[in-house]
Structure 1
Amino acid sequence: MTRRCSFLLGFCCALLPLLTQANVVVGGTRVIYPAQETEVSLGLTNKGEQPALVQVWIDDGSADSRPDDVDVPFVVMPPMVRINQGKGQTLRIAHIPRPGIPGDRESVYWLNILDVPPLPADQVSNHMQLAFRTRLKLFLRPEKLSGNAVEAAQTLRWSLIGSGPGRVLRVRNDSAFHVSFNSVQVKLKSGHVLKVRSHMLAPKSSADFPLEQKSSSAEAQGRVVYEWISDHGSSVRREAALEL
């Protein structure tokens, strides 16, 4: 990467919170990469009224990573491209096998798409250039995993653990797939509804989700109502019983 490009990236990232809308639209909300495939593709479209410079890279979970700092088993082409207004570009992502990547479960990475609009022709000295970065989850899915992503979301095991302010909703994922949530709440038998602060659940793991409201430790019966995100980016609602 040239010094100019590195400076541009750092400057634009510093301005990300100031932008509310991107011109470049991504054709998906996540990328599923079957490990047996040579490559997968993702479409970009410039819906704006002027050209955009797009820089693309993949990181292993650190949002502060720069393209020249990351070390991941992927190559994305093109890493930087100009997309004219009303036009599109297809990204090609190739997996480079390497030792140490689990073969019995999914691994997750992040695809970064930085949309940098051009400087206006009549720019003045106090002009501020803004950029917008989109981060998508990229799931590397090994061959011949037992089950599938739908079964993973449907077979989660839920229970209320602890008492008082430290009480949490514990969820266990015995599958080989990640499960991402849109929302989680607990409907207790007493009629109380508890909202839960949730996050993505890794394969073959458990997590404790904090409750946003206090609940009595005596209340342990009820159901969990949760929305999980499918491979296609749609939100799927499901209910499950709390285990005692």
Structure 2
Amino acid sequence: MLKPILLLSALCWSACSCAAIQILATRVILYEAEKEQSFTIRNTGDAPSLVQIWLSKKDNSSMNITDDIPLAIMPPIARINAGSSKVFRFFPTEKASAALPADRESMFWINALDVPAVDDENVAENKLNIAFRTRIKAFYRPSGIKGTLIEAGENLQWSMSKEANNLVYTVNNNSPYHISVVDFSLKKGEETISSLPGDVIAPWEIKKYKFKNVTDSSASLNYQYISDLGAYIPKRIVL
């Protein structure tokens, strides 16, 4: 089992040396019928970086690497020179079809740990090198699910209730797709009166979002959901 690369650095008081690894995608979608998908990571910095890639489950935000996910990424570790790019392959193992639900898509995280090269000058001057982790969503879509992500995003079912001095919006995702939502806000005209962080609404999940200290039920709920291509699609809900 691979373990995350640990970067130990001396305490410093001067500048940090930072790499510039960019994943050239916001999400990767692997269909059951496909042998693989690919994504590209580019080093926009001026020094080489060592990049470690691994998958984690939707609810896992730790740095732990496990081998209980029936999907894989190759290569798991790669050097990317300054100004260069590297293509990584994302593919199912033989166990994927049997291990993952057939009636809904499964969501994972692709983690990229970027460890910048150690510069002799930085070491001599007690400058700090920092390892950065970037994550993007990865989805596995079985062949049998119906509809599209856009249809699912357009057909979220909302209701509103009051709890003391709070407005509570309840959403029902009656689809086999994960809906990634950003910029939840309540607006009165063009004025934002309350907001909440974005979220992911899982297949057939019912969730509640509480706007504290808001009692004006005539406000509209505004948010954006993200398409397969990474486009932000605005929605306005008036109940």
Residue 26 (1) aligns with residue 27 (2): no
Equivalent AA in structure 2 for residue 152 of structure 1: A
Would the aligned equivalents of 2:19 and 2:47 in 1 still touch at CA under 8 Å? no
Aligned partner of residue 9 in structure 1, secondary structure: coil
When residues 102 and 109 of structure 1 are mapped into structure 2, their CA distance, relative to the original with a 3 A threshold, is same
- Tell me, in whole angstroms, the C-alpha distance in 1 between the residues paired with 2:69 and 2:52: 17
Unpaired runs of 5+ residues, structure 1, are: 13-17
Give the match for residue 39 of structure 2: 42
* One-letter code aligned to 1:206: I
Per mean C-alpha deviation after superposition, the further-off stretch among 88-97 and 115-124 is: 115-124
Q: Output the TM-score relative to the length of structure 1.
A: 0.83
Question: Residues 19 and 132 of structure 1 are in contact (CA less than 8 Å); yes or no, is this contact kept in structure 2?
Answer: no
Residue 90 (structure 1) aligned with residue 73 (structure 2)? no
Q: Of residues 62, 65, 81 in structure 2, which corresponds to 1:64? A: 62
- Paired residue for 1:9? 6
AA in 2 matched with 1:63: S
Structure 1 segment 70-219 matched on structure 2, within 5 A: 70-96=67-93, 97-122=96-121, 123-124=123-124, 126-165=126-165, 167-187=167-187, 193-215=193-215, 219=217
Conserved 8 A contact 1:195-1:212: no
May I ask how many residue pairs the two structures share in their alignment? 229
Letter in 2 for 1:228: Y
Question: What secondary structure does 2:225 align onto?
Answer: strand
2:112 partner SS: strand
Deviation of residue 10 (structure 1)? 6.4
The CA distance in 1 between the partners of 2:16 and 2:210, in whole Å, is 31
Instruction: Return the alpha-carbon distance in structure 2 between the equivalents of residues 181 and 21 of structure 1.
Output: 30
Other-structure match for 1:228: 225
Identity %: 30
Q: What are structure 2's unaligned runs of at least 5 residues?
A: 10-14
Query: Once superposed, what is the RMSD of the aligned Cα atoms?
Result: 2.7
> For 2:126 and 2:16, how far apart are their aligned partners in 1?
17
Structure having the higher strand fraction is: 2
TM-score (norm 2): 0.85
